[in-house]
Amino acid sequence: MADKLDQIFVNVLHWLVSFLPEALRPLASALVCIAFILMVFPLIFSLTTIFERKGLGRIQNRYGPNRVGIPFTKIRLAGFGQFLPDGIKMLTKEDVVPRAADKVVHFLAPIVMLIPVLLTYSVLPFGKNMTLADYDAGLLFFLAVGGAVEVSVFMAGWSSRNKYSLLGAMRAIAQMVSYEIPLILSAVTVVMIVGSLNLSQIVAHQNQYTCGIAHWFVFTPWGLVGFLLFFIASLAESNRTPFDLPEAESEIIAGYFTEYSGFKFALFFLGEYLGMFAIIGLGITLFLGGWTSPVSFLTWIPSWIWFLTKMMAIVFVFIWIRGTLPRLRMDQLMNLAWKFMLPLALINILVAGIWHYMAADWQRWLVCSAIIFGAYVILGRGLMANQKLGLRVYKFAE
């Protein structure tokens, strides 16, 4: 029964495709999968926007949206009906294009944004046997395609002919390029241990249990550090607080999509959130065991539920961080990436190598933890060396 529930989507797909002739089946199943992804993830996106607004509201001691429910009834759904009027409003707004803008590029930018983001979903394993394109070099595909988002950001920023947009775009690109390096390097550790770039194999490698605890990589010293680095880098990659300088509505008025409105803005918005989901999904796959259960007695819960649960948990952490931390300065942003995360990620690769080649007993835990801790302390001190941290003095406020 549990197995049936687990494989319900796969079986439905097989059933659907079985009506077609043999030659068309692969194409048809791909199309069905794409349709499915296009249905599910935008839905999650729209729910997440409400979730985020409500969460932020709670953190900031407000209510957040709590009115809109099912029309013509008294059912309010705690405000979760809000996304529908929001979406309708967004899609029906006037599409304003600046006169000086480079029209073609301006038009293409949101599309170029959305395509690579959607492409990345093709390699993520959402559940057992639920990978759309099980590439041998899946991780490389994800990172390569994800890198193309930068082009769209540039296109948006440059084509708007607006200095805020351009500034925002340049900031975004600099930030993405910088944080892509620790992101990739922290993923490399997993590749080293698993010996494959295939995401399904990476998940399968973590789908083992000792004493009822899963072999998630986050439970190892290098994996923990890798996950934290990956987590920070993915915050930056998805332009979330505290790395939201490119959008910084209080400084440069939403950055590279200042000049976008209506449908195009919705596309950007969607693209951004889908990118966030994708990179969280990758983080889950690499370090948190993908669709596997953390403890062996919970394996009866369907794998896709696990995946979505983990994803939403991390989305919640993202929202929590957004409500908690202030925005970084540009120099702090760059220092963190180049002087702290990059060396730590490199050392983490070394540690993963040591982990791989040492015998599996307590000594390797000790050695690996010691190296990482030492590196953390030294790098942290290096990062803090030139910064006079202390209570802020408000010169003009009083």
Partner 1 sequence: MSPFFIITAVVTLLGAVFAMSLRNLVHCALAMAVAFSGVAAMFLQLDAQFAGFAEILVYVGAIAILIVFAILLTRSGETPEKSVLTSGWWAGIAVTAMVFTILGWAILSSSAVPKDLPAAPVATVKNIGDALMTKYVLPLEIIGLVLTAAMIGAVIIALKEDKKDNSGGEQ
Gap between the Cα atoms of 352 and 358, Å rounded: 10
> Left (φ > 0), alpha (ψ -120 to 50) or beta: where does 348 sit?
alpha
Gap between the Cα atoms of 270 and 165, Å rounded: 19
Rounded to a whole number of angstroms, the minimum distance from the CB of residue 144 to partner 1 is: 4
For partner 1, give the closer residue by CB, 167 or 235: 167
Our finding on whether 196 is near partner 1 (CB under 8 A) is yes
Rounded to a whole number of angstroms, the minimum distance from the CB of residue 41 to partner 1 is: 22
Our finding on whether 148 is near partner 1 (CB under 8 A) is yes
Q: Reply yes or no: is the peptide bond before residue 242 cis, omega within 30 of 0.
A: yes
Nearest to 213 by CA among 289, 286, 311, 317: 289
Candidates 69-77, 140-148, 342-350, 382-390; binding stretch for partner 1 (CB under 8 A) = 140-148
> What does the CA dihedral 28, 29, 34, 39 come to, rounded to 10 degrees?
100
Q: If binding means CB under 8 A, how many residues of this protein chain bind partner 1?
A: 27
**Chosen residue from 68, 114, 117, 145 binding partner 1 by CB under 8 A:** 145
Candidates 137-145, 293-301, 305-313, 373-381; binding stretch for partner 1 (CB under 8 A) = 137-145
Query: Are residues 2 and 302 in contact, defined by beta-carbon separation less than 8 angstroms?
Result: yes
Helix (H) or strand (E) holding 152: helix 149-159
Rounded to a whole number of angstroms, the minimum distance from the CB of residue 371 to partner 1 is: 23
Chain centroid to CA 371: 29
Rounded to a whole number of angstroms, the minimum distance from the CB of residue 174 to partner 1 is: 9
**Chosen residue from 10, 44, 140, 305 binding partner 1 by CB under 8 A:** 140
Our finding on whether 334 is near partner 1 (CB under 8 A) is no
Candidates 139-147, 234-242, 260-268, 311-319; binding stretch for partner 1 (CB under 8 A) = 139-147
- Residue 95: phi, psi to the nearest 5? -95, 105
Rounded to a whole number of angstroms, the minimum distance from the CB of residue 94 to partner 1 is: 27
Provide the 8-state DSSP code for 192: H
For partner 1, give the closer residue by CB, 23 or 360: 23
Nearest to 143 by CA among 194, 180, 182: 180
Our finding on whether 214 is near partner 1 (CB under 8 A) is no
The interface mask with partner 1, positions 286-325, x = CB under 8 A, is ----------------------------------------
Our finding on whether 203 is near partner 1 (CB under 8 A) is no
If DSSP codes are grouped into helix, strand and coil, which group holds residue 352? helix
Gap between the Cα atoms of 47 and 81, Å rounded: 9
Q: Scanning residues 151 to 170, which ones bind partner 1 (CB under 8 A)?
A: 151, 154-155, 158, 166, 170
Our finding on whether 144 is near partner 1 (CB under 8 A) is yes
Provide the 8-state DSSP code for 95: -
Our finding on whether 30 is near partner 1 (CB under 8 A) is no
**Residue-level length of the chain:** 398
Q: 48 is written with which tokens?
A: 């997440």
Gap between the Cα atoms of 135 and 132, Å rounded: 9
Our finding on whether 195 is near partner 1 (CB under 8 A) is yes
Judged by the rule CB under 8 A, the positions of this chain that interact with partner 1 are 102, 105, 135-137, 140-141, 143-145, 147-148, 150-151, 154-155, 158, 166, 170, 173, 177, 180, 195-198, 331
